Structure 1
């Protein structure tokens, strides 16, 4: 028997694509956050020191917030970064946690899948009818598309996590 360390299995092509996609969206989210913070900083300087507010900043911040949250959501899901409460873990045991993990991924995936469909339809409607913001007349459909894309990737991640859970046995 060899003393060589056991190597972790190589990630599949799907794992690599999902990781790259979530990382790319998280990077776009981070850039959006930095730009939003810079805009707010400049806006505050202009408003209070120069007495000339920048019009439309609120609209831009609201839309950038959509991009920040929805594009970072898949990365957070893939990294298991969501808030979790383990108050009952000892009481329900390993089997209960296993069942709870399966149920939470199924429920989350179903709810997000419905929201993906609704957001995608809303994006199509907003594009068709030319929905835009009030002050700056910015088109809204790309932001509905961000919502749909972020949640769709989350659904795929939850599905992949569910498959991994179902293939492994309950561990104490």
Structure 2
């Protein structure tokens, strides 16, 4: 595959699946700086994977798998380094005036998803994007029935957290 062909395929994939990548990034990285770093890591991995794509699954499934695996690896690496670093993002957020109205429910949802373990977080994102249990099982690497059990538990957990938030006025 020539570099020109690889670039064309990559640009096409990115055009169609950019929102998918952003969802994964937002679920696995909290600060804007971390989100930028993770987005770049995922995009680099997608670009490198173009020549190895064998069309045994849809490009959406392929890119989701790359994004999730890259995010999981990135989170693991960040945990090692985060104890020695402190970012200024919190200070910058306080100093800058927010001009965009942020939907508090969406912020709450992403924060709740972020607090889930890696597999549950991945399954939640796949569920929100409308993947079938079979597709989720393939991407995450667990059985279809295990996906169903996990989804039921995740839903109950998020409903409970949501009710607690409403009850306490958080």
Q: Structure 1-normalised TM-score?
A: 0.30
Bigger RCO of structures 1 and 2 (CA < 8 A, at least 6 apart): 1
Q: Determine which structure has more spread, i.e. the larger CA radius of gyration.
A: 1
Higher helix share: 2
| TM-score under structure 2 length normalisation | 0.30
